C-alpha cells in the first residue's frame, strides 16, 4: 500500500506555480547576496588589476561622456523651460535658478546618470560577460589558474562605482549650464547671479547625499550587470537575457535605492 496520505488534496496549480516562482525569487536573492559577499571577499586581495580597472573606467566613463553631456544638457533646458510657467503664475520666476539646482543636484543628476548608465554600461557588461560565459572564455580563465572573478567582476564593479559618481557630478554641472542658458535667454540673468541663487539653497548634506547615491547606483549597476552576465546560461538566448536582466534589474534597484537614500538623508537634516 502507498504510505502517502491521499486525503490531502494537491494545491491548485496556480498556487504551486506562484510558490515555485517565489522560491525561485528568494533563491535568486540568496545568489545575489553570495555574489556580493564574494566581491567584498576578493576585492581586497591581490592581484589588484589596476590596468584593467583603468581600462574599464575608460569603457564605462569616457565612452559614456557624449551621451551624458547631451542628456544632461537637455534635462537642464527642458526642466527649466517646463518649470517657468508654474512659477510665473505665482510671480516667482526669480526662484527658477534655486528650483532648477535643487531638482538637478538632489535628484535628477544622479538618477538620470544612473538610468543612462544602466542602459548603456549595465547592458554591455551583462552581454560581454554573458557571451564570455557561454563561449567558455570564463572557464578558460579558471582552468589556466587565473582568477576570472577578480579580473572580470571586481574590476568592472570598481570602475562603475568610481565613474558613475564622476559622471553624475558632470551631469549636474552640464544640466545647470543648460538651465542657465535658458534662464539667461528668457530672464537675462547673469551667470554669477544664476550660480549664486542656484547654490544658495543647497546644503553640505545635499552634496553628500547625492554623491553617496551615485556611488550606490554605480555599485548596483556594476554588480547587477556582472551577476547577470557571469551566471548566464543557455547560449545566445542567455546572453540576451543577461543584457536585458542587467538593465531591468539595475533600473528597478536604482529607483528603490533613490527612495531609501532620500529618506535616510532626511534624518540627518
Partner 1 sequence: MEKQKANIDKTNEVIRLRGVEKSFADYDVLRGIDLDLYQGENLVVLGRSGTGKSVLIKLISGLLTPDAGTIEVLGKEVTNISERDLEELRIHIGFSFQNSALYDSMTVRKNLEFPLVRNRKGITRFEIDKNVAEVLEAVGLSQTINQMPSELSGGQRKRIGIARTLILNPEIMLYDEPTAGLDPITCIEINELINEVQQRYNTSSIIITHDLTCAKMTGDRVAMLLDGQFQRVGPFDEVFKTTDPRVTPFYDYNFIQ
Binding positions for partner 1, rule: CB under 8 A:
47, 131-132, 135-137, 139-147
Distance of closest approach, residue 2 Cβ to partner 1, in angstroms: 21
Cβ proximity to partner 1, 20 vs 266, nearer residue: 20
Question: 22 or 140, CB closer to partner 1?
Answer: 140
Q: Which is nearer to partner 1, 81 or 120 (CB)?
A: 120
How far is Cα 205 from Cα 211, in angstroms, rounded to an integer?
A: 10
Nearer to partner 1, 59 or 257 (CB): 59
CA dihedral 75, 117, 260, 82 (to 10 degrees): 10
Q: How far is the CB of 244 from partner 1 (least distance, A)?
A: 21
Phi, psi of 11 (to 5 degrees): -65, 145
Question: CB 102 → partner 1: shortest distance, Å?
Answer: 43
Pick from 131, 118, 154: which is nearest to 246 by CA? 118
Q: Which three cell numbers stand for residue 147?
A: 582568477
DSSP 64: G
Q: In terms of CB distance, is 53 or 141 closer to partner 1?
A: 141
- Least Å distance, CB 84 to partner 1, is 48
Write down the least CB distance from residue 240 to partner 1, Å.
17
Nearest to 123 by CA among 34, 208, 222: 222
Tell me the longest C-alpha to C-alpha distance in the chain: 92
Amino acid at each position: 500500500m502507498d504510505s502517502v496520505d491521499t486525503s490531502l488534496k494537491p494545491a491548485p496549480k496556480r498556487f504551486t506555480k506562484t510558490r515555485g516562482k517565489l522560491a525561485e525569487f528568494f533563491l535568486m536573492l540568496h545568489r545575489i547576496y553570495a555574489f556580493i559577499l564574494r566581491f567584498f571577499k576578493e576585492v581586497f586581495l591581490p592581484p589588484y588589476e589596476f590596468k584593467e580597472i583603468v581600462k574599464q573606467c575608460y569603457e564605462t566613463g569616457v565612452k559614456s561622456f557624449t551621451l551624458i553631456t547631451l542628456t544632461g544638457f537637455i534635462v537642464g533646458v527642458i526642466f527649466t523651460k517646463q518649470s517657468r510657467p508654474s512659477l510665473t503664475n505665482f510671480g516667482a520666476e526669480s526662484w527658477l535658478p534655486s528650483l532648477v539646482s535643487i531638482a538637478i543636484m538632489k535628484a535628477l543628476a544622479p538618477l538620470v546618470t544612473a538610468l543612462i548608465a544602466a542602459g548603456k554600461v549595465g547592458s554591455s557588461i551583462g552581454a560581454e560577460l554573458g557571451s564570455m560565459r557561454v563561449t567558455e572564455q570564463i572557464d578558460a580563465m579558471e582552468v589556466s589558474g587565473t582568477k576570472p572573478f577578480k579580473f572580470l567582476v571586481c574590476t568592472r564593479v570598481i570602475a562603475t562605482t568610481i565613474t558613475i559618481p564622476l559622471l553624475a557630478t558632470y551631469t549636474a554641472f552640464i544640466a545647470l549650464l543648460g538651465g542657465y542658458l535658458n534662464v539667461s535667454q528668457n530672464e537675462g540673468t547673469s551667470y554669477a547671479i544664476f550660480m549664486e541663487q542656484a547654490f544658495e539653497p543647497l546644503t553640505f548634506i545635499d552634496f553628500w547625499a547625492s554623491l553617496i547615491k551615485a556611488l550606490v547606483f554605480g555599485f548596483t549597476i556594476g554588480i547587477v550587470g556582472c551577476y547577470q552576465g557571469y551566471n548566464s546560461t543557455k547560449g545566445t538566448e542567455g546572453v540576451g537575457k543577461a543584457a536585458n536582466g542587467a538593465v531591468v534589474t539595475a533600473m528597478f534597484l536604482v529607483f528603490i535605492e533613490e527612495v531609501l537614500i532620500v529618506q535616510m538623508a532626511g534624518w540627518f537634516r
